[in-house]
Amino acid sequence: MGDTPKPAADRRPRALIVVDRGLAELRRGGVVGIRGPEGRVALTLAAEMATADSLAELSRLSGSSPVLAVTGRRVAALTGRDYAADAVHTLAVPDNGDDLWIRRLIDPTLGAVALDGAVAVLAEPPKSLAASSIQLAKLARLLPAMLIAWAPPAELDEMRRWARSQSLLLIERDDIAAYSGLAARRQTKVSEARVPLADAENARIVAFRPLDGGGEHLAIVVGSPDSTQPVLVRLHSQCFTGDLLGSLRCDCGDQLRGAIRQIADAGSGIVLYLAQEGRDIGLVNKLRAYELQDRGFDTFDANEALGFEADERVFLPAAEMLRQLGIRKVRLLTNNPRKVEALAEAGVQVVDRVAHVFPSNGHSAAYLQAKRDRAGHLL
């Protein structure tokens, strides 16, 4: 008798499981430990979730006062000076820096806050634990700002025992770095069904889920695409407000329905519906960005004022979905040259870019202009 195959859960990389647990803990307002290869452990707390009690707990665990880690984008917004956009910086939290002070510093929708010139702003190395903590915050769809304090030095076994005694989750820095790539490559088809659509009656929806149990991406397959030929494909990042509610602030709903119609008219093709709300900053942060846009920011400046990059998306999940669907060559329905480059870098051959343009309305004109001027979107 042959060996019994192990359940799929046993083959999941540890990084996916542990990091996913850490994201849930941060979203609950808990403290998470990040351990570097040299053995040092940073105790981290999502800044927007901080309360008087959780700040006290962070200080109790570490025996010291925390620092605040933010992105170069957020420091630039606070100071009006240029900082390395891709760098993470740490700021000392003053003695009177309570949870309200912290939230006002990291969230520009709560009102203008000037950073005291006496506060030291220190740039962190690219692979620092502070940088890893910011990556965790982004994965959790929280504002990219983290409170950090250092755990008492200890050998690994002793540190693990201490963490267990404090009900504290420890995550390896390298697991955080590997998470996004692993999640993209380890997603799998979990279900599919025929779903006749108003503009494409011969359609089915295929659901993909990463093996950490995270959010699903969907493929809307119209007709029967011939995988031996370039397939007409649209990468569409989900937009709750535009796709579902018909928001006039963006052209997302028009793009989604227009892509389905165009693919149906062509006979076959695929829309990949990606769980990347707000260029992958999440719905809550997208609403914050909308509030800033109402104050005069454009769509990219608003994301950056919140501490994010103008576009946080990666398209490895899209490439993996196409691979599992047997698609190697595509005609990409897009105006965004970055999508063409990203798919090509992920091993998908883009043989043609098909224009995908819709007229603006009184609410979306500035948004569409910013995409053309700032992101190089084509007509």
Catalytic residue set: 311, 313
What are the beta bridge partners of residue 191? 207
How far is Cα of residue 98 from the mean position of the Cα atoms in its chain?
28
Whether 260 contacts 202, CB under 8 Å: no
Q: Are strands 269-274 and 121-123 parallel, antiparallel or unpaired?
A: unpaired
The Cα angle at residue 182 between residues 177 and 186, in degrees rounded to 5? 170
Instruction: Please name which of 28, 27, 16, 31 lies closest in space to residue 170, comparing C-alpha atoms.
Output: 31
**Could you tell me the CA-to-CA distances from 145 to 91, 140, 343, 351 in Å, in that order?**
11, 11, 30, 40
Whether 68 contacts 90, CB under 8 Å: yes
| Dihedral, CA of residue 335, residue 339, residue 345 and residue 348, to nearest 10 | -80
